[in-house]
A and B are shown apart, each in its own frame.
Chain A
Amino acid sequence: MLGRTLQEVSAALKQGQITPTELCQKCLSLIKKTKFLNAYITVSEEVALKQAEESEKRYKNGQSLGDLDGIPIAVKDNFSTSGIETTCASNMLKGYIPPYNATVVQKLLDQGALLMGKTNLDEFAMGSGSTDGIFGPVKNPWSYSKQYREKRKQNPHSKNEDSDWLITGGSSGGSAAAVSAFTCYAALGSDTGGSTRNPAAHCGLVGFKPSYGLVSRHGLIPLVNSMDVPGILTRCVDDAAIVLGALAGPDPKDSTTVHDPINKPFMLPSLADVSKLCIGIPKEYLIPELSSEVRSLWSKAADLFESEGAKVLEVSLPHTSYSIVCYHVLCTSEVASNMARFDGLQYGHRCDINVSTEAMYAATRREGFNDVVRGRILSGNFFLLKENYENYFVKAQKVRRLIANDFVNAFNSGVDVLLTPTTLSEAVPYLEFIKEDNRTRSAQDDIFTQAVNMAGLPAVSIPVALSNQGLPIGLQFIGRAFCDQQLLTVARWFEKQVQFPVIQLQELMDDCSAVLENEKSASVSLKQ
């Protein structure tokens, strides 16, 4: 049952094959078994069981709230949850219990979803590995998969397996690990430069970043307000569409959500024929750092569309190479501003020093933030100084506009959806990953995902195939602004073609029967 998709388990709940409480308990028990993955910061067991009980009553009375009623979900620990600690994986917010729910959390609860817990991340979502939070790094469930282990056994050079676990990617690595390890059916991440799509690619999941303005940010503790979007991590595209259906829509508490009517619910029309479709391949995304395996899969994916009758065009996004540096300026500037409220006065960490308010601020912030956050605050404040503002911030904004226009031009040339890699390669081992600092890693890892945030477009990472090492590789589809439904429709067609294999975790968990119940045959049509 746990291995099923959200849609499938929702059907099982409706048919009474399983009750919400049974489902909840199974997930809770798996959360305990997979505790070493460090996916969750807080497990909200009592809350979840109570919600399950209520959901069960509704099912008994035939008053189910819909597809999400009784479905276990997890939420990244940078969304406010009323009465449940929300830390952003930072000392600064350790012990902080928000008095309100983020709009997206509230919407999920209103649909009857069960909140299993709050998932791990890089401190304040600043990172691409889920390695830089105070609760320690998140381990990629694929490190323990049969697929990966068997490949490693074949490799005589492989080192000690236990210390050689893989990162999940980030910053929503906890949410990705939680879904990937079957502890829940969907999870909320956040996506500012790729933080949902990147771990989705590394963990073999669908990672969806909606159009900016489609889903409320109210209650999402911001990284970069002008780019942040709540992200959705699921096992398949249909599940992402169900969750999006629950979340999308204007929120009076977020003035940046759009009021134009959006088709709801997000039921995806079945797409049998792609011959009217035009797929764009941005030539600038073909960079030397791209691994040959990803490059090859990318080109096979393009071939697949072409062979099915779609038009595949090379397009140019000429300002792509400026994206990283531009993002750096804009991101750190907003970070410097957003982090100003963490002064230890009203909530969160406060140091013991009380000689003066200024000394208290300084010590509180030094103790409360890690080096990554402090570094971004410092650079951001530098860029915002009066003498630097024009040269950095204003220029970066102009470049941002150029990057956004690149996409507009590409779509105006007749392209419906862009197809790109999500990441440079598959997930790397933790010990490998930490050889470079957070900033370098973020700059490398966000390279295909971040321009999308600059332009506010919807994008989704779809797991395509396993690498030679037995690890998932994802490709990204980018759609027109607010054409989220079209994007997901194309992504679902693609998903059906590639038949990505289910993760095999039987060695990891005693309860393999539950996991394997729904195992699909590992037919990998795009495998080299």
Chain B
Amino acid sequence: MAAPMLRWVGRGRLWTFARVDGGSCHRREAPTGSTSNWIRGQSSVAQQPLYTTQKPRKGEHKWAAVVGLEIHAQISSNSKLFSGSQVRFSAPPNSLVSFFDASLPGTLPVLNRRCVEAAVMTGLALNCHINKKSLFDRKHYFYADLPAGYQITQQRLPIAVNGSLTYGVYAGKKQSQVIPKTVRIKQIQLEQDSGKSLHDDLRSQTLIDLNRAGVGLLEVVLEPDLSCGEEAATAVRELQLILQALGTSQANMAEGQLRVDANISVHHPGEPLGVRTEVKNLNSIRFLAKAIDYEIQRQINELENGGEILNETRSFHYQLGCTMSMRDKEGKQDYRFMPEPNLPPLVLYDATSLPAGADPQQVINIDQIRETLPELPSVTRERLVQQYGMLLEHSFTLLNEVGLLEFFQNVIKETRAEPKKVTSWVLNTFLGYLKQQNLAVSESPVTPSALAELLDLLDSRTISSAAAKEVFEELWKREGKTPGQIVSEKQLELMEDRGALEQLCHSMMEAHPQVVMDLKKGNPRAINKLIGLVRKATQSRADPAMIKEILEKKLSS
């Protein structure tokens, strides 16, 4: 298979991917097979983009990047992983701290059932093997916001292993096709979040907020199957959608509910992997892609210039757009892992292993959780494609924008218009306006009902599509008016009076004999000019198709 290649020129210029959903390292043809069943997951692990330097030496000097991710998702739960403290974002500092969270001596962890269920659910959704027995470990390091001096995690035997995550990257000439890719999931482990340190440099103080300390996290460890920022970004986005669909995490990156660390290295294909760096604190999907691509290129440059890559932790500086060595940990940390002695092994059951007469409050049944799994994004997309006949990439867009799918479905529910029409209006017009003004779906001035009514007007041929655009524009600007009101106020109803329209066409032809001559000379496109003139005269209220039909009839007669 010919590997896609990206060459670049210009010494010292940094190579970056411009957009997560745009410029790409995947200039490949669409895969064989229909697009609707790709979700079932062909592995695309082997396809890695290669990078070449600006000055190829003897032969091509190609680089391949290897990227692995560790993703921390805060579990959506009323209380913390091992204590009864509430979990709430932006509560007053240290207001959600139990004695255990503050690590008062003598306190013990008590596992939160909800967190275990969330982990099992997530594991099932990510095609993992759920371990019937898993263990908790202590990971030691000193940090001011880690009051116990260790974090309880699952290092030796995590709750779920060997899964996969299928995501789609955009490809094709217009970046409009979606190619399925799969990244293997090494494991999912339950662990505690740390508190937060707030550094006050002015007073050289560090303030500690333990509200977050002990909140349950799912650490999802991806195998290093990714090869560029865009792949990482789309994989994380897909994971985010899955977690949100499951309700196991709100996965809001801005609120820190989803945090990603990336392990990155480069090497020449066929040669051993290079030394890797870890880039931390990637708190948006856009920065994730940027940081990874920056780091890949930095490593290539470093190696090309005879330098070496240090096994170090780097952070992404989003203002400067570059990664920087954190240098806060001297040498390698030894976390001195040890079994957590205060928690017995976590034992899960399935229908076959469930002991008879077991108290349902005391056991967790994997099969029961499997039955409650909601529709996953990949299935939703497939359904959208089948039910509404939309393109797969449209289904991706519908799911990727927060709230857009719900908006779309609400419009569909209330309108008689064709689903294809709805898709087109939602994805082109509606989304276009949102993007232009940088608004979220929830901030839209146009409600699903208003759009549905507008599409009904269009569908019933009460207005032309041009008029519909105008109505939409009005809806966007002036809240509180229904499309019907706008149409009647602005007299945008389609001219249904054929006689009047024929009259108008006739006088327009008479007024523009030159155009009629052109047409008769055999320039069929000249008719568009006439159509345009008639429409203008009707203030766009006439149906262009009807105008065309009348004109053609008159011209041929």
Q: Name A residues whose Cβ lies closer than 8 Å to a Cβ of B.
A: 79-80, 86, 88, 93, 96, 98-100, 102, 217-222, 224-226, 252-256, 259, 333-334, 336-337, 339-343, 345-347, 357-358, 361, 381, 384-386, 389, 393
Does B106 contact A340, Cβ atoms closer than 8 Å? no
Does B105 contact A341, Cβ atoms closer than 8 Å? yes
Does B106 contact A102, Cβ atoms closer than 8 Å? yes
Residues of chain A lying within 8 A (CB to CB) of residue B336: 336-337, 381, 384-386, 389
Query: Which of B104, B106, B149, B344 has the largest count of A CB atoms less than 10 A from its CB?
Result: B106
Does A220 contact B106, Cβ atoms closer than 8 Å? yes
Partner of B99, one of A99, A220, A386: A99
A345 to chain B, nearest CB (A): 6
Partner of A226, one of B110, B150, B334, B341: B341
- A100 to B106 CA separation, bound complex (whole angstroms): 10
Known pairs A217-B108, A358-B142; A333 contacts B338 (CB<8 A): yes
Partner of B148, one of A88, A102, A221, A341: A341
Partner of A343, one of B99, B106, B149, B343: B149
- A333 to B208 CA separation, bound complex (whole angstroms): 28
Does B342 contact A256, Cβ atoms closer than 8 Å? yes
- A385 to B208 CA separation, bound complex (whole angstroms): 29
Report B42-83 residues with CB < 8 Å from chain A CB.
Answer: none
A369 to chain B, nearest CB (A): 13
Taking the complex as formed, is B107 at the interface, i.e. its CB lies under 8 A from any CB of chain A? yes
B498 to chain A, nearest CB (A): 81
- A484 to B337 CA separation, bound complex (whole angstroms): 34
- A346 to B149 CA separation, bound complex (whole angstroms): 12
Does A80 contact B106, Cβ atoms closer than 8 Å? yes
A-B contact list, 22 entries, CB within 8 Å = A86-B105, A88-B105, A98-B106, A218-B107, A221-B105, A254-B108, A255-B344, A256-B342, A256-B343, A333-B338, A336-B140, A337-B140, A340-B140, A340-B148, A341-B103, A345-B208, A346-B103, A385-B334, A386-B334, A389-B336, A389-B337, A393-B338
Q: How many interface residues does chain B have, given as a range?
A: 20 to 34
A94 to chain B, nearest CB (A): 13
Partner of B106, one of A222, A224, A252, A346: A222
Residues of chain A lying within 8 A (CB to CB) of residue B216: none
Report B95-118 residues with CB < 8 Å from chain A CB.
Answer: 99, 102-111
- A253 to B110 CA separation, bound complex (whole angstroms): 6
Residues of chain A lying within 8 A (CB to CB) of residue B147: 341, 343, 345-346
A234 to chain B, nearest CB (A): 23
Does A221 contact B106, Cβ atoms closer than 8 Å? yes
CB nearest to A333 among chain B residues: B338
- A381 to B334 CA separation, bound complex (whole angstroms): 10
- A464 to B104 CA separation, bound complex (whole angstroms): 40
Does A93 contact B142, Cβ atoms closer than 8 Å? no
Residues of chain A lying within 8 A (CB to CB) of residue B276: none
Residues of chain A lying within 8 A (CB to CB) of residue B110: 252-253, 255
Does A79 contact B150, Cβ atoms closer than 8 Å? no
Known pairs A343-B142, A386-B334; A219 contacts B103 (CB<8 A): no
A373 to chain B, nearest CB (A): 13
B105 to chain A, nearest CB (A): 4
Does B342 contact A255, Cβ atoms closer than 8 Å? yes
CB nearest to B99 among chain A residues: A100
- A345 to B103 CA separation, bound complex (whole angstroms): 11
Does A334 contact B334, Cβ atoms closer than 8 Å? no
- A98 to B106 CA separation, bound complex (whole angstroms): 10
- A220 to B105 CA separation, bound complex (whole angstroms): 8
Residues of chain A lying within 8 A (CB to CB) of residue B144: 345, 357
B179 to chain A, nearest CB (A): 40
Taking the complex as formed, is B325 at the interface, i.e. its CB lies under 8 A from any CB of chain A? no
Taking the complex as formed, is B138 at the interface, i.e. its CB lies under 8 A from any CB of chain A? yes
- A80 to B336 CA separation, bound complex (whole angstroms): 28
CB nearest to B359 among chain A residues: A259
Taking the complex as formed, is B442 at the interface, i.e. its CB lies under 8 A from any CB of chain A? no
Residues of chain B lying within 8 A (CB to CB) of residue A340: 140, 142, 148-150
Taking the complex as formed, is B206 at the interface, i.e. its CB lies under 8 A from any CB of chain A? yes
Does B106 contact A225, Cβ atoms closer than 8 Å? no
Does A218 contact B341, Cβ atoms closer than 8 Å? no
Residues of chain B lying within 8 A (CB to CB) of residue A337: 138, 140, 149-150, 336, 338
Residues of chain B lying within 8 A (CB to CB) of residue A347: 104
Residues of chain B lying within 8 A (CB to CB) of residue A225: 341-342
Residues of chain A lying within 8 A (CB to CB) of residue B108: 217-218, 253-256
- A273 to B99 CA separation, bound complex (whole angstroms): 50
Partner of B111, one of A98, A255, A333, A393: A255
CB nearest to A225 among chain B residues: B341
Contact bitstring B370-397, A, C-beta under 8 A = 1, else 0? 0000000000000000000000000000
Query: Which of A86, A88, A224, A340 has the largest count of B CB atoms less than 10 A from its CB?
Result: A340
CB nearest to A339 among chain B residues: B149
Residues of chain B lying within 8 A (CB to CB) of residue A341: 103, 105, 147-149
- A358 to B206 CA separation, bound complex (whole angstroms): 13
- A114 to B337 CA separation, bound complex (whole angstroms): 42
CB nearest to B210 among chain A residues: A346
Report B202-243 residues with CB < 8 Å from chain A CB.
Answer: 206, 208
CB nearest to A100 among chain B residues: B99
Report B325-377 residues with CB < 8 Å from chain A CB.
Answer: 334, 336-338, 341-344, 362
- A339 to B274 CA separation, bound complex (whole angstroms): 38
Does A255 contact B106, Cβ atoms closer than 8 Å? no
- A256 to B104 CA separation, bound complex (whole angstroms): 18
Residues of chain B lying within 8 A (CB to CB) of residue A336: 140, 336
Contact bitstring B131-167, A, C-beta under 8 A = 1, else 0? 0000000101010100111100000000000000000
- A339 to B338 CA separation, bound complex (whole angstroms): 14
Residues of chain A lying within 8 A (CB to CB) of residue B138: 337
Going nearest first, the 9 A-B pairs with the smallest beta carbon separation are A340-B149, A384-B336, A225-B341, A226-B341, A221-B105, A219-B106, A341-B103, A80-B106, A221-B106
B113 to chain A, nearest CB (A): 12
CB nearest to B205 among chain A residues: A354
Q: Apart from A218-B108, A222-B106, A345-B144, what 7 extra A-B contacts exist at CB < 8 Å?
A: A86-B105, A98-B106, A221-B106, A224-B341, A255-B343, A385-B336, A389-B337
Residues of chain A lying within 8 A (CB to CB) of residue B206: 357
B157 to chain A, nearest CB (A): 14
Residues of chain A lying within 8 A (CB to CB) of residue B362: 259
Residues of chain A lying within 8 A (CB to CB) of residue B150: 337, 340
- A458 to B107 CA separation, bound complex (whole angstroms): 24
Does B106 contact A384, Cβ atoms closer than 8 Å? no
Residues of chain B lying within 8 A (CB to CB) of residue A386: 334, 336
Does A334 contact B142, Cβ atoms closer than 8 Å? no
- A428 to B107 CA separation, bound complex (whole angstroms): 36
Residues of chain A lying within 8 A (CB to CB) of residue B99: 99-100
A389 to chain B, nearest CB (A): 7
Contact bitstring B305-343, A, C-beta under 8 A = 1, else 0? 000000000000000000000000000001011100111
Residues of chain A lying within 8 A (CB to CB) of residue B341: 224-226, 256, 334
Residues of chain B lying within 8 A (CB to CB) of residue A384: 140, 336-338
Residues of chain A lying within 8 A (CB to CB) of residue B342: 225, 254-256
Known pairs A256-B344, A340-B149, A358-B142; A334 contacts B338 (CB<8 A): yes
B474 to chain A, nearest CB (A): 60
Residues of chain B lying within 8 A (CB to CB) of residue A255: 108-111, 342-344
- A96 to B341 CA separation, bound complex (whole angstroms): 25
Residues of chain B lying within 8 A (CB to CB) of residue A361: 142
Query: Which of B111, B142, B337 has the largest count of A CB atoms less than 10 A from its CB?
Result: B142
- A354 to B84 CA separation, bound complex (whole angstroms): 34
A328 to chain B, nearest CB (A): 15
Residues of chain B lying within 8 A (CB to CB) of residue A259: 362
Residues of chain A lying within 8 A (CB to CB) of residue B337: 384, 389
- A217 to B144 CA separation, bound complex (whole angstroms): 27
